């Protein structure tokens, strides 16, 4: 009986864990001479691009290697390559352009 109770408690604790939810983070990127800050907020499922004008994008897919996000008013998709810390834009299956080379912000 104690074993069943212990397993039940462990099951409840495991189901409450948010360990599979990615941590929010930000990246600093340069486009020409302009510094742009990208904030990835997985709690709200959005990406905010802070530049002279702020833009908001919806996260559409998250994997250990890439994060896909897009603006609702456009057909193209942005991709954060988590390995190389680059942000690319996919216009079509045949056309991908690297826009930003990024680095984590320094504190």
pLDDT single digits (tens) 18-37? 455 578 999 998 877 778 89
Q: Is residue 13 part of a domain?
A: no
- What is this structure's pTM? 0.72
Please give the tally of structural domains in the chain. Answer: 1
Q: Is residue 6 part of a domain?
A: no
How far apart, in whole angstroms, are the C-alpha atoms of residue 21 and residue 102? 23
pLDDT single digits (tens) 66-106? 999 998 888 889 999 999 999 999 888 888 888 888 987 66
Q: Is residue 64 part of a domain?
A: yes
DSSP alpha helix (H) spans, the chain: 2-16
Domain enclosing residue 34, as ranges: 20-103
Q: Is residue 2 part of a domain?
A: no
Q: Is residue 44 part of a domain?
A: yes
How far apart, in whole angstroms, are the C-alpha atoms of residue 62 and residue 9? 30
Q: Is residue 97 part of a domain?
A: yes
Phi, psi of 95 (to 5 degrees): -125, 110
Confidence of residue 48 (pLDDT cuts 50, 70, 90): very high
Q: Is residue 35 part of a domain?
A: yes
């Amino acid at each position: 009986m104690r074993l069943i109770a212990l397993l039940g408690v462990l099951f409840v604790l495991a189901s409450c864990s948010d360990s599979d939810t990615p941590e929010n983070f930000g990246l600093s990127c340069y486009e020409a001479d302009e510094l742009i800050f990208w904030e990835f907020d997985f709690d709200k499922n959005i990406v905010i691009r802070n530049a002279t004008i702020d833009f908001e994008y919806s996260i559409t897919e998250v994997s250990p290697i890439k994060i896909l996000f897009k603006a609702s008013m456009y057909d193209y998709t942005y991709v954060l390559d988590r390995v190389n810390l680059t942000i690319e834009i996919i216009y079509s299956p045949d056309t991908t352009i690297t826009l930003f080379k990024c680095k984590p912000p320094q504190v």
